[in-house]
Structure 1
Amino acid sequence: MFDAGTLILFASASLLLALAPGPDNIFVLTQSALKGKLVGLVVTLGLCTGLVVHTSAVALGVAAIFQASALAFNLLKFAGAAYLLYLAWGAFRAGTSSLESEASREIGLGRFYLRGIIMNVTNPKVSIFFLAFLPQFTRPEQGHLPLQMFILGGIFILATLLVFGSVSLLAGVLGQWLRRSERAQKLLTRTAGAIFAALALKLATASR
């Protein structure tokens, strides 16, 4: 269905895009530093699940709605911004003891998985990006277009897993070292809160 050159080009572009600083990898970075590498990896899985949703939306034509409808676009982006503000509020309220207990417990990982899904799905710009990016590598003469979209989306998700997983592991090690200091813990939570608030502002002011 795809020639080797197209797949290599798409995979390379996907890796570079995953490496580029953006809301999702910054989110993984902060969560891993605050809660540990396991939580970062779970958040990564949640974000990649969100990418499955966006890939499906593009393949089925749903993403075109967000490109065409200002109301749908604004409703979703404001929902995402509100969720990020909620995370910022939680980060500013977090104490050092809650940081330590959450980092050491494996229960509640589903909450962080869901957090990753919500973070990704409520960003309509991801769907619009996929709508613009994926079709560039498809060819009608090569067969079923939706299937081509799903294959390309799967490659993009694998590249994201590789990059974000590496970010989780590195940030988790750094966070483990920083959490030994109460002052560093407070700095971590305040920094994460500020980042979440900045991401919320960026999303709320985004245009199609």
Structure 2
Amino acid sequence: MVPLNEMMLFAGAALLMVLTPGPNMIYLISRSICQGRKAGVISLFGVIAGFLVHMLAAAAGLTALFLAVPLAYEVLKWAGAAYLLYLAWQAIKPGARSPFEARNLPVDSPQRLFLMGFMTNVLNPKIAVFYLSIFPQFVSPEHGSLFLQSIQLGIAQITVSFSVNLAIALSAARLAAWFERNPKWLTIQRYVMGFVLAGLAIRLASEHRKVG
């Protein structure tokens, strides 16, 4: 099992990931604003189904990779740190746009809403990279089955993502209006998130863990 302190740090990383604008957030906000809360929630369930695909693929792949190539941890550690630095830059770079600037979307049926949410997440490179580069920093053979540890982390990530995205879907219109009236808070949020992500990247890059 993943130690509690590592699980708490991972949950923090998962929270930062879900709060960092990406295809999932932009789609859910746009859908909720254009078609209402119910449509946003249905789309969210599709997104969660996509998370299950990423989680199972990462759990199986990481288990095989760690057993076959012990040095893979070091490679993925630096890849994870670089990815977090990339997200930090995306948050603070000049001209970064808010996900609350909704796109116009056509009205879709519940089945299509679920499918579009699912496909948006399954094809989301941000999620794939997160699972493949961040997961290895929190699993270790000395804590038991790598597969079960990955599932444990995946469930934690999905729980965090569902909770935050549900709140966003249910309040997207109000949040969009509030941020439009208070644009300075978008800037503050971006810079705080950027610095926290950069700090987490440094922490992961400097960590030493024996694998194998």
Asked if TM exceeds 0.5, the reply is yes
Q: Kindly provide the amino acid, as one letter, of the partner of residue 134 in structure 1.
A: F
Aligned to 1:60: 60
Shift of 1:125: 4.4
Aligned to 2:167: 166
- How large is the RMSD of aligned CA atoms in angstroms? 2.6
1:112 is paired with a residue whose SS is helix
Contact 1:33 1:174 in 2 (8 A): no
Distance 1:170 1:125 in 2: 24
Shift of 1:22: 1.4
Runs of at least 4 residues of structure 1 off by over 3 A?
172-175
Contact 1:32 1:39 in 2 (8 A): yes
Shift of 1:23: 1.4
The count of corresponding residues between Structure 1 and Structure 2 is 139
Contact 1:57 1:127 in 2 (8 A): no
Distance 1:164 1:9 in 2: 20
Distance 2:165 2:19 in 1: 8
Q: Kindly provide the amino acid, as one letter, of the partner of residue 6 in structure 1.
A: E
1:41 and 2:41 matched: yes
Aligned to 2:20: 20
1:18-167, aligned counterparts within 5 Å? 18-61=18-61, 91=105, 94=106, 108-167=109-168
Distance change >3 Å, CA 174–CA 14, structure 1 → 2: closer
Distance 2:123 2:144 in 1: 31
Distance 1:16 1:45 in 2: 20
Q: Flag structure 1 segments of 5+ consecutive residues without an equivalent.
A: 65-87, 103-107, 178-208
1:61 is paired with a residue whose SS is helix
Shift of 1:48: 1.4
Distance change >3 Å, CA 40–CA 25, structure 1 → 2: same
1:21 is paired with a residue whose SS is coil
Q: Which has the higher helix share?
A: 1
> TM-score by structure 2 length?
0.59
Q: Kindly provide the amino acid, as one letter, of the partner of residue 48 in structure 2.
A: C
Aligned to 1:203: none
Contact 1:60 1:146 in 2 (8 A): yes
Q: Flag structure 2 segments of 5+ consecutive residues without an equivalent.
A: 66-102, 178-212
Aligned to 1:78: none
Shift of 1:174: 6.8
Percent identity (aligned): 35
Q: Kindly provide the amino acid, as one letter, of the partner of residue 36 in structure 1.
A: G
